[in-house]
């Protein structure tokens, strides 16, 4: 019998040698600089300045030993995923360049791209949960995330304990203890602490530092990972890994994609947290397709410009709305009225974002009149695009949330959610003014 072929001797050439240089003369390059070329070498693609879109379902191995070595990565026999390109359900050049660049924004070691934000979130949860486990989560969550935990994970014996976004350290200690007792009673463990901050659509912030301290006190630093949906403020205005989160997830459909022309998601964090998620993505599929990954690379080149401008516009629009007689209040992070929320904001956020809620005096009928009279702002769900969007969460995105729960979470009938784009701020103010006149 001959010996098995050794797959360790010939490293496969990559698109670019890793780790790639991200400094010049000791200067750490900024993400906005790295978005133009990081992870891609034109020499390997006929000099093409931009990466081609690699439309292929599978990749040819240079020899059989390389194929074996790559599959050792895919199957987890070698940690850290495949060293080379294998099959488009597992990896691809466009997705790998995208993942390298996404990780830079979050200050993460590794990132994984998905075909939607919900694919990212659900694969993440499935990767960590087992029968009898408990997911601890903040509230409110995006309705589909909350529904997935409550209605889908429960089918597999996974339960949850939730807490309001602004919970204090003492309250969080009690939540961890309750979750631990619940898990033990079910014969499982607390498998994940899942946060959304700010929460959709109220903009309530979670104290990530307090959550980290409570997790460490209850379970130690090697306890359940803290994952956070950073869709509303990321990647520019909040970097939750700096506050002690372990995993960051996104709907890239929003600010990162930024043009309302694609649907995608991502998860980032240390390799040790990404490995189980990558393994499940390899099995289930759900990786972003090459065309979408390419579009996201295009989008990442301007994400800072777009978010900066949208943030400035939102500040001007909110200044106008705040003093309007038909406006009861605003859920805007630049005008927080609660001292605890302000303290969290000061410690966690670098900007107030451009998505906020406006409470119109009245109820659903008044909100509908306002929405129906907007001309520049489009009446559509979603956020983070170049164009301004407005919607009514209670009757649209959060309609599936039971009425009592909606009230508990502050998703009132007179709440309109607005995502400000990059139009001229004064034009937007004129539009909101005339629509409010019609109320
Ligand atoms: N997380 C948040 C905060 C969202 O607002 C959304 C979508 O609106 C999602 C996740 C889901 O993302 P996707 O629509 O890309 O699946």
CA of 227 to the centre of ligand 1 (A): 15
In ligand 1, which atom is closest to the CA atom of 141? Answer: 3
- Going by alpha carbons, the residue nearest to atom 2 of ligand 1 is 142
The protein residue whose alpha carbon is closest to atom 5 in ligand 1 is 142
CA of 384 to the centre of ligand 1 (A): 11
251, 260, 295, best to mutate for ligand 1 pocket (most atoms within 8 Å of CB): 251
Spell out the long-range contacts of 53-56 with Cβ–Cβ below 8 A and sequence spacing 24 or more. 53/94, 53/290, 53/291, 53/294, 54/92, 54/93, 54/94, 54/290, 55/290, 55/291, 56/88, 56/92
Distance in Å, CA 6 to ligand 1 centroid: 45
Distance 117 CA to ligand 1 centre (A): 5
Q: How many CB atoms lie within 10 A of CB 24?
A: 9
Sheet containing 265-269, strands listed edge to edge, beginning at the edge strand earlier in sequence: 110-114, 265-269, 247-251, 226-229, 190-196, 134-139, 159-164
Q: Domains of the chain (ranges plus CATH)?
A: 1-110+289-301 (no CATH), 117-252 (3.40.640.10), 303-437 (3.90.1150.10)
Long-range contacts: 389-392, Cβ < 8 Å, 24+? 389/260, 389/418, 389/419, 389/421, 390/416, 390/417, 390/418, 390/419, 391/416, 391/417, 392/364, 392/367, 392/368, 392/416, 392/417
| pLDDT tens for each residue of 96-133 | 999 999 999 999 999 999 999 999 999 999 999 999 99
Ligand 1 centroid–CA 288 distance in Å is: 15
Question: What is the whole-number distance in angstroms between the Cα of residue 83 and the centre of ligand 1?
Answer: 31
CA-nearest residue for atom 11, ligand 1, is 117
> Which residues' Cβ are closer than 6 Å to ligand 1?
116-118, 142, 196, 200, 229, 231-232, 251, 253, 263, 265, 382
Q: How far is the CA of 136 from the centre of ligand 1 (A)?
A: 19
Q: Do residues 357 and 201 lie in contact, with contact meaning Cβ atoms separated by under 8 Å?
A: yes
Can you tell me the distance from the alpha carbon of 108 to that of 96, in angstroms, rounded to the nearest whole number?
14
Q: For the whole model, what pTM was predicted?
A: 0.94
Q: pLDDT of the chain along its 439 residues, tens only? A: 445 666 555 544 455 556 677 899 889 999 999 999 999 999 989 999 999 999 999 999 999 999 999 999 888 888 767 888 999 999 999 999 999 999 999 999 999 999 999 999 999 999 999 999 999 999 989 989 999 999 999 999 999 999 999 999 999 999 999 999 999 999 999 999 999 999 888 899 999 999 999 999 999 989 999 999 999 999 999 999 999 999 999 999 999 999 999 999 999 999 999 999 999 999 999 999 999 999 999 999 999 999 999 999 999 999 999 999 999 999 999 999 999 999 999 999 999 999 999 999 999 999 999 999 999 999 999 999 999 999 999 999 888 888 888 888 888 999 999 999 999 999 999 999 999 999 9
CA distance 224 to 92: 30
157: left (phi over 0), alpha (psi -120 to 50) or beta: left
């Amino acid at each position: 019998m001959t010996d098995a072929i050794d797959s360790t001797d010939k490293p496969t050439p990559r698109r670019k040698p890793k780790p790639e240089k991200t400094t010049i003369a000791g200067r750490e390059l900024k993400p906005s600089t790295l978005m133009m070329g990081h992870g891609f070498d034109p020499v390997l693609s006929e000099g093409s300045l931009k990466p081609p879109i690699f439309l292929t379902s599978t990749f040819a191995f240079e020899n059989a030993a390389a194929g074996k070595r790559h599959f050792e990565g895919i199957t987890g026999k070698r940690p850290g995923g495949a060293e080379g390109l294998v099959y488009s359900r597992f990896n691809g050049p466009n997705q790998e360049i995208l993942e390298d660049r996404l990780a830079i924004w979050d200050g993460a070691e590794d990132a994984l791209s998905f075909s939607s934000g919900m694919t990212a979130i659900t694969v993440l949860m499935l990767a960590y949960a087992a029968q009898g486990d408990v997911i601890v989560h903040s509230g409110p969550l995006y309705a589909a995330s909350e529904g997935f935990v409550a209605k889908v994970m429960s089918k597999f014996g996974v339960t949850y304990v939730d807490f309001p976004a602004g919970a204090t350290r003492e309250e969080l200690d009690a939540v961890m203890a309750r979750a631990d007792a619940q898990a033990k009673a079910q014969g499982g463990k607390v498998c994940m602490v899942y946060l959304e901050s700010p929460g959709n659509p109220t903009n309530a912030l979670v104290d990530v530092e307090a959550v980290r301290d409570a997790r460490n006190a209850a379970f130690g630093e090697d306890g359940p990972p803290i994952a956070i949906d950073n869709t509303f403020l990321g990647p520019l205005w909040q970097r939750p890994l700096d506050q002690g989160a372990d995993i960051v997830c996104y709907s890239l459909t929003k600010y990162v994609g930024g043009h309302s022309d694609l649907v995608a998601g991502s998860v980032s964090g240390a390799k040790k947290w990404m490995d189980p998620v990558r393994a499940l993505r390899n099995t289930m599929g759900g990786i972003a397709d090459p065309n979408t990954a390419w579009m996201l690379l295009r989008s990442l080149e301007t994400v800072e410009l777009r978010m900066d401008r949208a943030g400035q516009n939102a500040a001007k629009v909110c200044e106008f709305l705040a003093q309007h007689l038909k406006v009861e209040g605003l859920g805007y992070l630049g005008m927080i009225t609660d001292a605890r929320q302000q303290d969290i904001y000061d410690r966690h956020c670098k900007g107030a974002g451009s998505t906020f809620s406006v409470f119109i005096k009245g109820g659903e009928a008044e909100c509908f009149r306002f929405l129906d009279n907007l001309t520049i702002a489009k009446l559509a769900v979603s956020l983070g695009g170049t164009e301004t969007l407005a919607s009514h969460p209670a009757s649209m995105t959060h309609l599936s949330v039971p009425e009592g729960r909606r009230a508990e979470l502050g998703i009132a009938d007179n709440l309109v959610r607005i995502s400000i784009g990059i139009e001229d701020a004064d034009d937007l103010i004129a539009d909101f003014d005339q629509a409010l006149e019609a109320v």
